[in-house]
C-alpha cells in the first residue's frame, strides 16, 4: 500500500497527466459526482498542488491544451510506483460514489491498457486508503 507521507514526488507534467486521466474517469458516465470532485481536489492538495476553480462546474474539466496524445506518453514513462498510485487513485474515483458504472470501467480499462498501469494493484484496501487518508 502506498504511503503518501513518504510520497513519491511527481513532476508538474506528471500531475497534469494524472489530472487529465482522472477527468476521463469522472466524465465517463456523463456526470460529475461531488464525491469524485472532492476526492480529486483532496488528493491534489496532498500532492502539493492546490487546484482552484471559479465554480464547481469548472472542476474536472480536462486541460484542452494538454490533449490525450500528449499526456498518455508521460504516464507510460512514469516509474512503477507512480503508476500504482495512479491506478489506485483512478479506481478510488470510480468507486467513491458507491457505484462503478460500465462506462467508468471501460474508460478505466482503456487507461490501464494505454498507460501500462498495473491493474493488479487495485484492491478494497487501496479504496479504503484513499477514502480514509483524504
pLDDT block averages, 10 residues each, the chain of length 134: 63 92 92 90 84 70 82 96 93 90 94 93 71 68
Residue 2 lies in a domain: no
Residue 1 lies in a domain: no
Round to whole Å and give the CA distance between 56 and 54.
7
Residue 62 lies in a domain: yes
What pTM does this model have? 0.86
Residue 4 lies in a domain: no
Residue 67 lies in a domain: yes
Provide the pLDDT for residue 48.
83
Residue 5 lies in a domain: no
Unique residue bearing C-alpha cell 480514509: 132
Residue 31 lies in a domain: yes
Residue 56 lies in a domain: yes
CATH number at residue 81: 1.10.3680.10
The tally of domains found in the chain comes to 1
Q: Which residues of 60-89 are buried (b: 16+ CB within 10 A; e: fewer)?
A: bebeeeeeeeebbebbeebeeebbbbbbbb
Round to whole Å and give the CA distance between 1 and 99.
23
CA distances (Å), 73 to each of 14, 27, 53, 66, in order? Answer: 10, 21, 27, 12
Provide the pLDDT for residue 5.
45
Cα–chain center distance at 16: 10
Domain coverage including residue 29: 10-133
Provide the pLDDT for residue 134.
62
Amino acid at each position: 500500500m502506498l504511503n503518501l507521507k513518504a510520497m513519491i514526488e511527481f513532476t508538474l507534467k506528471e500531475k497534469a497527466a494524472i489530472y487529465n486521466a482522472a477527468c476521463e474517469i469522472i466524465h465517463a458516465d456523463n456526470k460529475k459526482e461531488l464525491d469524485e470532485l472532492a476526492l480529486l481536489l483532496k488528493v491534489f492538495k496532498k500532492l502539493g498542488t492546490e487546484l482552484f476553480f471559479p465554480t464547481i462546474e469548472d472542476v474536472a474539466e480536462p486541460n484542452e491544451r494538454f490533449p490525450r496524445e500528449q499526456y498518455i506518453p508521460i504516464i507510460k514513462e512514469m516509474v512503477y510506483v507512480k503508476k500504482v498510485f495512479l491506478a489506485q487513485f483512478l479506481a478510488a474515483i470510480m468507486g467513491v460514489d458507491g457505484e462503478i458504472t460500465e462506462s467508468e470501467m471501460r474508460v478505466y480499462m482503456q487507461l490501464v491498457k494505454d498507460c501500462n498501469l498495473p491493474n493488479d494493484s487495485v484492491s478494497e484496501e487501496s479504496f479504503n486508503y484513499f477514502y480514509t487518508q483524504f
